Amino acid sequence: MTRKRVIALTAALLLVAVAAFEFWRFGNSAKESSYVTMPVQRNNITQVVSSTGTLQAVVTVQVGSQVSGTIDKLFADFNTKVKAGQVVVQLNQDKFKASVDQGRANVLAAQSNLAKAKVSVADALRTLERNRELRKRDLTAQSELDAAQTAYDAALAQVEVNKAQVAQAQAALNQTEVDLDNTTIRSPVEGIVISRNVDVGQTVAASLQAPTLFTIANDLSKMEVHTSVDEADVGNIWEGQEVTFTVDAYPARRFTGKVHQVRNAATVVQNVVTYNAVVRIDNKELLLKPGMTANVQFLVSQKEGVLTIPNMAVRFKPPEQKDEAQELLRQEQSRAAPRVGARRTSRSGGGGGGGGGRRVRIYVLKNLKAQPVEVQLGITDGSKTEVRDGELNENDAVIIGMASGASAQSKAGVANPFQPQQPRGFGFR
C-alpha cells in the first residue's frame, strides 16, 4: 500500500468519525431538557431570626453631683476599678465649711434667745403670783392682774417660738453639713469606670439637674445585647431562647447567649414597629465592650436529616404561567400600600422561601416534562426549605429555572436544528 493511499484512508476515517460524533451530539442535544433542575436532598436545616443590637453592661450607673462647685481632686480615671463607697471626686469645700460654721452660730443664737425667753417666763410668773396675792387682799385692780396674766401667757408663747427657731436653725445646720458631705463624691457600686466627663478645676452646676461626672459599669463579665426585633418576627422570640452573635472586632468568632426579656413597649419609627429583646451573655474573657454592635441570630428551629428543596424551586413558574402570575402580583402590589422605611430585622426565609406549614406547587422534571407536585413546606434557612409532606422523594429533580433560550423557542415555535445554539445559562424566574 502506497503512502498516498494510507493518508487518504486515514482522512476518510476521520471524516466518518467526525460525522458520527456530530450525529450523536445532535441526537442527544435534541433530547436535552430546557429546564434547570436540582435534586431533592436530605440536609440539616436551621431557621433563625436575624437582627442587630448594641452591647451594654447589665448595670450602668451615672455618678453625678448633688451640689454645685469646683472640682478639686479626681481619684478615678477611664478604666479605673472602683469599690462601693470609694471616693472618686472631691469638690472644693471652703464655701461649704463656711456655711456650716454660720449654721452652728445660728443654732447658738437661737438657743440663747430660747434661754432669754425662759427667763422672761419666770419673771412674768412672779409678777402674776404677786398680783394674785394683792388682788386677794383687794390692794390692786383687776386690770393689773389681767395684764400680768397676759404678760405671762405671751412669755410662754415666746418660749415656743424660740424653740421653733432653734429647731429651724438646727435643720439649716444639718442641711449645710449634708452639702459639705456631698462635696465628697463616692462610687455607689463596685465596677469599672467607662466614662469620665470632668477635669480638675472644672465647675459643675447642679441647680437644674445633677451633672454626670463618671459612668461606672457594675460588672463587665455579665453583659446584655439590646436588639430591635420587627413585629413580624417577634412571635418567634421567647425568653430562654438560644442566641448567637458576632461583633466586628472578632468577625471569626461566634458568641452565645440567651434571651432574658422581650419587652412589650413598642418603638415606632417611620411606621415600622419594633420590640426590644434583651439578650444576656457571659463575658468572662472581657473581650466584649459596651457600645459594640452585635449581629444577632435567634435560633427558632433546627432539624436534621429532612427532605429539602432549594427556595428557587418554590418561586419557579412555567413560561405559560408567568404572565398570569405577574398580573396577580401587580394587582396585589396595587392594593397594598408600600411601607416607609426599612426593617431592621430579617427572617432567614424571607423572599419566597416558604413559611412553615403552607402548601405550594412546585415542578418536578419527569420524562423531560415539568410535572406539578403539591407539597407542604416547613422551616427554611434562606436558601433551602424543608418539605414536610408531598409526593416527593430524595433525588427527585425539582425545577429551579429555565435554560437560556428555552423561553424564546417556546414562543417562536420549533427551533431550526441547523441554527447555531446560544450558550446555555441560568434564567431564573
- Model confidence at 227, in pLDDT bands (50, 70, 90)? very high
Here the cell at position 93 is: 469645700
**Residues near 339 by Cβ (< 8 Å), separated by ≥ 6?**
271, 272
Q: Is there a contact between 159 and 117 (Cβ–Cβ < 8 Å)?
A: yes
Which tens digits make up the pLDDT trace of 325-366? 566 556 655 554 444 333 444 444 443 333 447 889 999 988
Of 110-119, 209-218, 257-266, the poorest mean pLDDT is in: 209-218
pLDDT at residue 109 is higher than 60: yes
Q: Is there a contact between 65 and 87 (Cβ–Cβ < 8 Å)?
A: no
Give the three-state DSSP class for 260: strand
Cell 473581650: give the residue. Answer: 287
Among 121, 118, 117, smallest CA distance to 148 is for 121
How large a percentage of the chain has pLDDT more than 90?
Answer: 55
Q: Is there a contact between 34 and 409 (Cβ–Cβ < 8 Å)?
A: yes
pLDDT in the model for residue 189: 92
How far, CA to CA in Å, does 153 sit from each of 112, 166, 359?
20, 20, 98
Which tens digits make up the pLDDT trace of 2-29? 666 656 667 666 666 666 655 555 444 4
Residue 265, class by beta-carbon neighbours within 10 Å (0-12 exposed, 13-18 middle, 19+ buried)? exposed
Other CB atoms within a 10 A radius of the CB of residue 193 amount to 19
Other CB atoms within a 10 A radius of the CB of residue 85 amount to 10
381 or 422, which is more confident: 381
Q: DSSP string spanning 307-375?
A: EEEEHHHHH---HHHHHHHHHHHHHHHHHSPPPSS--S-EETTTTTS--TT-EEEEEEEETTEEEEEEE
Which tens digits make up the pLDDT trace of 175-185? 999 999 999 99
pLDDT in the model for residue 85: 93
Angle at 223 between CA 65 and CA 231, to 5 degrees: 105
Cell 402570575: give the residue. Answer: 325
Give the three-state DSSP class for 236: helix
Among 210, 290, 284, 211, smallest CA distance to 247 is for 290
